[in-house]
């Protein structure tokens, strides 16, 4: 299936949904050690969250390394013994490892909406292997998803290689809806920015999260967020939350070449709404703009 580039950008199908936690075997590093620690704890297995899909797994529900790290430090408030959350018959159910991995791989395609076969290591972590003959490969699992009709291969004009969309979202590419006049600040790990090789040709936007870049070598800043308006990435913002001062500091704001905030229909109001939402997220009462952002301060206000 071939689609034009503009249509893909306008109707980029992305959904963020929870995925089933994989068996600890899905990440062979440290699973057995964690199991031993948890068996020594009253109540046995622990679970993050309350989604019943998290309870499925042959040896528990802590396949993610983050959960292992939490459990190694004790039992934080966010962790609960799984037996308190789910009925015994659900906990007794064993889901084959291959099915777990296939579900996890499908969740990647679902979250992003237009992934290909490549990308950074972090995107595909725990979704299959290439050097373990006794375990399914990501390619084999992807082919099973295609054969089952869960994902559909597409080609995007101007991009190399196949991409994949969910079967139920193909219509979004063929007849994309009009994007709303809204603004969103995208987190550095938001699924839309997972595949930076897609952002460059499709959105003409080059993004690198510079939190791990030495300060002297940063082009933008420590924690800079892409600004999404309608179906365009129009700029970048660097907010910093000062909880003690009940404020959000905007240290930097950069617009993409050719974008003029005042001339974009609906943008100023949408940007103010996004800033209000960010203030609510930060539980802050005002925005403090950096001295060089006087024009933006007058346009978007300190209490938008």
Please report the domains of the chain, with CATH numbers, ordered by start residue. 2-16+97-174 (no CATH), 24-92 (no CATH), 183-300 (3.40.630)
User: What predicted TM-score, i.e. pTM, was given to this entire model?
Assistant: 0.73
Q: Which residue has the tokens 């950096």?
A: 290
The predicted pLDDT at position 8 comes to 61
For 149, which DSSP code? T
pLDDT, residue 41, reads: 36
Tokens of 261: 């905030």
27 touches 63 (CB < 8 A):
yes
pLDDT greater than 60 at residue 62: no
Residue 13 pLDDT class (50, 70, 90 cuts): low
- Per-residue pLDDT of 137-160, as tens digits, reads 999 999 999 999 999 999 988 888
Residue 2 tokens read as 């071939």
More confident residue, 80 or 303: 303
- Between CA 35 and CA 52 the distance in angstroms is 20
Tell me the range of 17-21, 117-121, 240-244 where mean pLDDT is highest.
240-244
Nearest to 159 by CA among 192, 118, 109, 201: 201
Q: What are phi and psi of 69, to 5 degrees?
A: -65, -40
Q: At residue 220, what are phi and psi to the nearest 5 degrees?
A: -115, -70
Residues whose CB is less than 8 angstroms from the CB of residue 28 and which lie 6 or more positions away in sequence, other chains included: none
Secondary element (H or E) of residue 98: helix 97-112
Whole-number Cα distances in Å, 143 to 39, 126, 136, 151, 194: 37, 17, 11, 9, 22
Quick check: 176 pLDDT over 60? Answer: yes
Q: Where are the beta strands (DSSP E) in the chain?
A: 2-3, 46-48, 79-81, 151-156, 163-166, 183-185, 225-229, 232-242, 247-255, 286-289
């Amino acid at each position: 299936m071939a689609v034009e580039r503009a249509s893909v950008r306008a109707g980029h199908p992305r959904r963020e949904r929870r995925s089933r936690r994989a068996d600890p075997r899905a990440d062979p590093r440290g699973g057995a050690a964690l199991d031993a620690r948890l068996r020594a704890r009253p109540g046995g297995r622990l679970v993050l969250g309350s989604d019943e899909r998290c309870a499925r797994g042959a040896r528990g529900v802590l396949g993610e390394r983050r959960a292992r790290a939490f459990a190694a430090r004790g039992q934080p408030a966010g962790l609960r013994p799984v037996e308190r959350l789910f009925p015994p018959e659900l906990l007794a159910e064993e889901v084959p490892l291959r099915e777990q991995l296939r579900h996890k791989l499908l969740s990647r395609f679902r979250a992003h909406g237009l992934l290909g076969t490549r990308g950074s290591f972090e995107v595909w972590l725990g979704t299959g292997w290439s050097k373990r003959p006794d375990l399914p490969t990501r390619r084999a699992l992807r082919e099973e998803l295609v054969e089952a009709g869960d994902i559909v291969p597409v080609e995007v004009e101007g991009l190399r290689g196949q991409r994949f969309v969910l079967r139920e979202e193909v219509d979004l590419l063929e007849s994309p809806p009009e994007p709303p006049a809204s603004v969103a600040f995208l987190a550095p790990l938001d699924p839309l920015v997972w595949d930076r090789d897609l952002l460059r040709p499709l959105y003409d936007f080059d993004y690198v999260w510079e939190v791990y870049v030495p300060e002297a070598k940063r082009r933008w800043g420590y924690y800079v967020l892409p600004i999404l308006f309608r179906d365009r990435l129009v700029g970048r913002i660097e907010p910093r939350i000062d909880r003690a001062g009940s404020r959000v500091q905007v240290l930097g704001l950069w617009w993409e070449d050719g974008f003029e905030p005042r001339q974009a229909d609906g943008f100023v109001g949408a940007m103010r709404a996004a800033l209000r939402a960010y203030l609510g997220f930060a539980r802050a009462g005002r925005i403090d703009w950096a001295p060089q952002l006087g024009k933006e301060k007058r346009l978007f206000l300190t209490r938008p």
